[in-house]
A and B are shown apart, each in its own frame.
Chain A
C-alpha cells in the first residue's frame, strides 16, 4: 500500500517535469522549427547568448580558479565570510541581483564616479549581460572547484616541488589536472546557469535585440509579442542544451567519483 503510494507520487512528479518539457518539442514540426531557428531574430539571440556566455565563462574561470584554490587551501581570517559571500548569488533572487548590479554599476550607481569620467557605460550593454551572467554563474564554478582542489592530496604538490617544478607549473601540471573532473563539472554548471540567466539580465542589461537579447530573453519577448512559435523554437534549443548538460555533468561526476 505504502509502496504503491510512493510509486504513484514519484511517477506524478517525474511526469510533471517531463511532460511540459516534451510538449515544447511537440509544438512545432521539424520544418517549421528549422525555419524559425534560422530567422534573423533567432540567430541574433543565439549569437548573443553564445558570445556572452563564452565571455562570462572565461571571466569565471580566470577569476574563480584562484579564488577556489585559496578557499580550499588558504588559512586566513574571514575565510568563512568570503565563502558565504561567494555562495550568496545561488540563493539571491536573480531580479534582486539585477537591481544590485544596477545600483552598483548603473548610470547613477556606486561606480559611476569612476566609470563616468572614462565614458564607460555598463548598464544596458552587452557587457552588462556578461556581468549578470558572471554574478549568477560563478558561484557554481567556485563551489565545485573549491571541493575539487580540497580533494587533491598535498603530497602530490610537494612531490612536484621536490622534483624541481615551481608553484605555478605545479598548479597547472598537478593540482589542476587532478582536480579537472570537478573543475569541468563546475564550469559546465556555471555556463548552463549563465545561458539560462534571465532575471538579472533583464534588470541590468535590458532586452535590446542584437545587443542584450539572449535566448531566454527572446523566449520571453516572443511570447509578449504573440510570436509563440518563435518562443517555442528557442525554448527547444535551450531545453536540448540543458538535457545535454545534465548528461555531461553526470558523466563528469562519475569520472571524479
Chain B
C-alpha cells in the first residue's frame, strides 16, 4: 500500500493531498496540470514534497528526516514518452532493473525474455527502441518496469503517445496485464474514458486537491 500525505507549492496552486493506494489499479484522473504527474514523481522520489510523508508497505520513503533516493525505492515508473534507453536493445532495456540489482547476464536475459513473451513481443528482443512502433514501445516500457518485481508501479499517461485506434487496443491489453499484478498500481490519465474502461477505484485531482475518491 502507498500512503502519502504531502504538500508542495507548484506554480499556480499548492498540491495538498492525503491518499492511500491499495493493491490493484487505481486511476488518478483530472485535467492537465492538476498535479497528477507531480504526485507520481513524489512517490517515485523524482520530486520532493515541501512537507509530508510518503510510505510504501509501512516503510517510510520520505518524511521530514528520511528521504530514500529514487533508486532505492523499488517503485517502477512508466514515463509518458516511455524513455526507453536509445543506446540499448529491447532485451537490455527490459533487463536494466535486474542489472541494477546485480543479476547475472543470463538471469537478466531470462527474465526479460519471459516478459517480452508474455507481452507478445518476444521477436523484438534485439531491436532498438527507435525501430519500434508506439504500441511496441509501450509494451517494452511496461516489461522494463515489471521485470525486476517492483513493490509499486506508476504509469504517467501511458496512452498519450499513441494514436486513437491503437490506444483502445493497448488499453485493453494493459488492463489485463495490470490486473494480474499483486502490487499497488497508480495510472495517471487526463482522459475520463480510460477511467471508465478500467473500472476500479478512481481518484480525481483538481488544482492540487482530491476532488473525488471513489470505488466503482
Residues in chain A within 8 A of chain B (CB atoms): 153, 155-156, 158-167, 169-170, 174, 177-178
Complex contact A161–B83 (CB within 8 A): no
Q: Mark B140-163, 1 if CB is under 8 A from A, else 0.
A: 000011001000000000000000
Instruction: Among B83, B85, B87, B101, point to the contact of A164 (Cβ < 8 A).
Output: B101
B69: Cβ under 8 A from any A Cβ: yes
Complex contact B100–A164 (CB within 8 A): yes
Complex contact A177–B87 (CB within 8 A): yes
A164 partner residues in chain B, CB cutoff 8 A: 71-72, 74, 97, 100-101, 148
A sample of 18 inter-chain contacts (CB < 8 A) reads: A153-B83, A156-B86, A158-B46, A158-B70, A158-B83, A159-B83, A160-B100, A161-B70, A162-B75, A162-B76, A164-B71, A164-B74, A165-B71, A165-B99, A167-B71, A169-B100, A177-B87, A178-B86
| A177 to B96 Cα, complex, angstroms | 14
- Output the residue of B46, B76, B145, B148 with the most chain A CB within 10 A: B46
| A159 to B81 Cα, complex, angstroms | 11
Instruction: Among B44, B85, B99, B101, point to the contact of A162 (Cβ < 8 A).
Output: B44
Contacts A155-B79, A165-B71, A167-B71 known; A160 to B96 CB distance under 8 Å?
A: yes
Contacts A155-B79, A174-B85, A178-B87 known; A163 to B69 CB distance under 8 Å?
A: no
Complex contact B69–A161 (CB within 8 A): yes
- Say how far B96's CB is from chain A's closest CB, in angstroms: 5
A161 partner residues in chain B, CB cutoff 8 A: 45-46, 69-71
User: How many of chain B's residues touch chain A, expressed as a range?
Assistant: 20 to 34
| A164 to B72 Cα, complex, angstroms | 6
B96 partner residues in chain A, CB cutoff 8 A: 160, 163, 165
Complex contact B97–A163 (CB within 8 A): yes
- Say how far A255's CB is from chain B's closest CB, in angstroms: 12
Interface residues of B in 87-104 (CB under 8 A from A): 87, 96-97, 99-101
Complex contact B46–A162 (CB within 8 A): yes
- Say how far A172's CB is from chain B's closest CB, in angstroms: 12
**Contact residues of A: prevailing secondary structure:** helix
| A170 to B99 Cα, complex, angstroms | 12
B77: Cβ under 8 A from any A Cβ: yes
Apart from A162-B45, A164-B74, A165-B96, what 12 extra A-B contacts exist at CB < 8 Å? Answer: A155-B81, A155-B83, A159-B77, A161-B46, A162-B70, A162-B77, A163-B71, A163-B100, A163-B144, A163-B145, A164-B97, A165-B100
- Say how far A112's CB is from chain B's closest CB, in angstroms: 45
Residue of B at shortest CB range from A163? B97
| A167 to B145 Cα, complex, angstroms | 18
Complex contact B85–A156 (CB within 8 A): yes
| A131 to B84 Cα, complex, angstroms | 41
| A178 to B86 Cα, complex, angstroms | 8
B83 partner residues in chain A, CB cutoff 8 A: 153, 155-156, 158-159
| A157 to B72 Cα, complex, angstroms | 14
- Say how far A160's CB is from chain B's closest CB, in angstroms: 7
Report, nearest first, the 8 A-B pairs whose CB atoms are least far apart. Answer: A164-B100, A161-B70, A162-B77, A163-B97, A159-B83, A165-B100, A155-B83, A161-B71
